[in-house]
Amino acid sequence: MFYDNSQEGLFWKWFYDNDKLIYNFEDDTERIFDLISNEINKINPHLTFEIGPIEEDGKRDFVISADGIIDAFPAVKTLFGLAPYLKNWNFIKFRPRRNIHSISYGGKSVSEPDIFYKLYSVKDKVGIQLFINGYNKDEHEIYSSIGYLLLDDALGEYDVETKVSFVEFHDINSTDFNGARSISELSIHFDSCFKNPLDNSPHF
pLDDT value of position 200: 44
> Are 140 and 102 contacting, i.e. CB atoms less than 8 angstroms apart?
no
**55-89: pLDDT as tens digits:** 999 999 999 999 999 999 999 999 999 999 999 99
Mean of pLDDT values over 101-117: 93
Q: What is the mean pLDDT of the chain?
A: 93
Higher pLDDT, 197 or 106: 106
**Burial of 179: CB neighbours in 10 Å, binned 0-12, 13-18, 19+:** exposed
> Is 202's pLDDT higher than 60?
no
CB half-sphere exposure, 189, CA atoms < 13 A: 19
**Burial of 198: CB neighbours in 10 Å, binned 0-12, 13-18, 19+:** middle
Mean of pLDDT values over 33-52: 98
Report the C-alpha gap between 121 and 204 in whole angstroms: 7
**pLDDT confidence of 196, banded at 50, 70, 90?**
low
Helix (H) or strand (E) run with residue 169 in it: strand 164-170
Proportion of the chain above pLDDT 90, given as a percent: 88
**pLDDT confidence of 123, banded at 50, 70, 90?**
confident
